[in-house]
Each structure stands twice: as C-alpha cells, then as structure tokens.
Copies of this chain bind each other. A is one copy, B any other.
Amino acid sequence: MPERLIVIGGVAAGMSAASQAKRRNKELEVVVFERDPHISYGACGLPYYLGNVITDPDTLIVLPLEKARKDRGIDVRINHEVVELDAKNKKVRVLNRETDEEFTMEFDRLIYTTGASPVRLNVPGVDLKNIFYLHTLKDGLRIKKYIEENKPSKAVLVGAGFIGLEVAENLAHTGMDVTVIELLDHALGTMDADIAKIATDEMERNGVKFKFETKVEAFEGENGKVKRVITNNGKVETDFVLVGIGVRPNVELAKEAGIELGETGAIKVNDYLRTNFSYIFAGGDCVEYKNRITGKPAFLPLALNANRSGRYAGANAAFNKDVEKFPGTLGSAVAKVFGVEIARTGLSTVDAEKAGIDFESVEIVDKTQAGYFPTKEKITVKLLAEKPSGRLIGAMLAGGQGTGLRIDVLATVLHNNMTIKELSEIDLAYAPPFAPTWDPVLVAANVGKKKFK
C-alpha cells in the first residue's frame, strides 16, 4: 500500500503542496479536497477580470483540473468539503457536495491549506442584494455576471486595502462612478499615510472618490436591492457594493481537531510548516508566518507566502523529512493604480512602533529615470532604519512607472539585514531609461545614512 497525503484546499498553497509532494515522491498517493468547483486559480487577477483587462476567466486557472489529474497524477476532488479532521487517528470525513454523500478517508500525512475568508460586515441591510465580497473565483464570476446583466453606474467599495484600490481602479475603468469608504484616515493600512496618499491622490485625479474616517452604519435598499450606504459621514447612493475589509484565516476545522493556533489566530507552524501534529503540515492564508524583521509571528495572507509555504510543506511532507525551511516573510506587497505604483516591504511606521523598535525614517522625492529623460516620473522613497544600528527595517515606495519593481531591491536588503549605509554601497545598474545615475533607492540611503553617525 502506498502512503497517502491528503491536502485540504486546492487553490494556491494546496495545489503547490500537492504538486511538489508528488514531484518529489512519485509513489505517494496525493488526494486534494477542494470545497469549490475551481482549483489553482490566480485570485489576484480577479480585480482585472472585473475591469475587463482579463476577459477570459479560464486564463486565471494556473493548473487546469485535468492536467493536475493526468499529468501530475494528483487525485483532485472538487466540490468536496472536509467536514471533520480526526488528527489523532489520521482520518478525515468528507462531504461530496454534488451528491451530498459523506465518506471517510485515512491519511499518513496531511497538509492543511484552507485559506482565509473575507471578514463580514455586520450592519443592518447587509443581506440586501448586490452587496458582494470578492474572494474566490466563484465570487468573481458572480460579480462579473451581475455587472454585465445590470450595468450598474455607481459602485461603493468598503475598505481601501490593496485589493480594494485595485478593484476601485478597475471599476472606474469600466465607466462606473466609484466611491471608496475607509474606516482609517488613509488607504492601505499596512503603509504610512503619506505614501498611501500618493496613490489615492492619483485615484482622485482619475475620478475615484474617497471617504476616509468613515464607518458604514447600514445599507438601505429598494425591492430588496441595495440603493444607498449610510455612514457616520453622510449617505452614498449606489447600485452595487463590494466589501473588502480584510480576511480571517479558516481555522475552524483545525481548531476542532486540536491543531494549535498562534497568537494571531492563524495556525501555528514550525520552520518546516509542521503543526503540533508532526504529520500535519499547514500552508497558505490560514497560517501565521515569522516576520523576518520582528522575529514574531504575523498574519500576512500574501500570494507568494501562500505559494511558497505550500511548495515547502509539500516538499517536507513528501517523505516526511525536513528538507525545505520556510524563510519567514517581509510582507512585501505592490500594486498599480492608474499611473502610480506603490509598494512596501518590512515594517511601516505603525508596525515599527507596535513592535517597540526605536528607529529613524528618511523620505526623498526623486525621478524614475535620468533627470534629462523626457518620460521621467516622480518617485518617493521612504526608508525606516533601526537605531542605533542603522539596520533597515522597512521601506515604502510610490511613484511612476518603474517604482514598484524597486521594492524587490529593498526586500533583498531587508532579507540580508543590511544597514542603510550598506544599502548606499550597492552597485545598482544605470542607464538613462531606467534610473538616475544614483538610483532613488541609493539617494534615500545616502541621505538617511547621515542620521546614523
């Protein structure tokens, strides 16, 4: 009898885990249970599907079902929900949602990749029609269908996170009158207000409206359909509401099974993605990961964390040997809204203050290309460095084309615990269409390092 690996959840982390385990151990029986009808899709593409940048939703599928089954030899069961996990006795109870039948399956090892779910608004009127959450491909298809059939002219986004801003841009591109409502005094809560403002100013220039420090108190409707949003800061008429106020990890099944949760409420794993049951691994958006800067667990549901943790969990589960150590996360993120690119890595000012780190910050404005190059655009670089060491602990960028990719240099700097002076010494490449001779990142380091003498 071959050993059996069960994977719960078949999106980013789950299919990465299953593929990696099977690739490393051809003898292993790998069974994936996915509750929804779709596996392995790029959820980050959904805003662009709503905005018609991507027209065929099938292109969002990274690994088609038949390919997973035939080419990779993975036993993928869609519309199958694991309803009970018996961690001690190594078995799961599974509901086939098409036939409504249940069955039990034993496993040698299990990888738990159930992802996260949108945080729900709990206000009067929230059950009205045309109030949506965008999380799964199923959600995306439903919203797109609604837009095509009803051609709404007004949309309200509740929540101004990365996805919220991307959705707002995309809906604005389709001609909708878009208002974003946010509880905080600025967008992108994981970034500093002054940097986030560069993105939202650009969106305002392109017709998107923002209501900051605004709390949704109720939805009002007509004929069962949402018609306006009531806030502490006035009413907004709308045809259509999309709520994106964050996600929380799907840990119910794990919790019932005795799998330990961490301080963030997500699943706690060791460096090899093992839970407190050594034969049960976890990965993806339901897990907390070590923040490389603070050394503490953080809940950062980001695509690369999900894919990497899945891949590494699969590698370790393949022969039940610790072969791939998860390197932790920097919370690196990037987005484009109209002509502005905005990015972060490491800690924001709020993050650093919460972590009790004494630090200096430096912010410079420069150009994305040589000063004499006609297509140059503005770029703002903000760096945070620990005192007195000068170690970089965070970076934020906002500006024109070429801004976003620069965050990867800073992520690499943080990965290596470099100081701001060391950053200033890197031999970055230069040509007029790409940067000034001293890249803006180096300019910020040159300015900032003076604070650490």
Residues of A with Cβ closer than 8 Å to B? 12, 42, 44-45, 48, 53-54, 59-60, 62, 162, 166, 292, 302-305, 307, 327-336, 341, 343-345, 370-374, 402, 404-409, 411-413, 415-416, 418, 422, 425-435, 437-439, 441
Contacts and interface: CB of A to CB of B under 8 A. Distances in A.
B427 A304 contact: yes
A103 B397 CA distance: 51
B427 A405 contact: no
Copies of this chain assembled into the complex: 2
Contacts of A334: 429-431, 434
B44 A431 contact: yes
Nearest to A453: B323
Contact of A370 (B44, B307, B343, B441): B44
Contacts of A327: 425-427
B372 A12 contact: no
Contact of A413 (B336, B412, B425, B432): B412
Given A415-B425, A416-B416, A437 B371 contact: no
B437 A60 contact: no
27 contacts: A42-B370, A42-B437, A44-B430, A45-B370, A45-B432, A53-B373, A292-B427, A304-B428, A304-B430, A304-B437, A305-B427, A307-B437, A332-B430, A333-B431, A334-B430, A336-B431, A341-B434, A343-B429, A402-B405, A405-B435, A406-B408, A408-B428, A408-B439, A411-B426, A412-B412, A415-B426, A416-B418
A404 B434 contact: yes
Contact of A307 (B304, B374, B438): B438
B42 A432 contact: yes
Contacts of A292: 427
Given A345-B427, A429-B408, A434 B374 contact: no
A331 to B, nearest CB: 7
B427 A329 contact: yes
Nearest to A342: B431
Contact of A333 (B53, B426, B429): B429
Contacts of A411: 409, 426-429
A427 B331 contact: yes
Most B CB contacts (10 A, CB to CB) among A329, A334, A405, A439 go to: A405
B332 A437 contact: no
Contacts of A413: 412
A166 B422 CA distance: 31
Contacts of A12: 437
A61 to B, nearest CB: 9
Given A372-B42, A405-B405, A406-B405, A427 B330 contact: yes
A415 B427 contact: yes
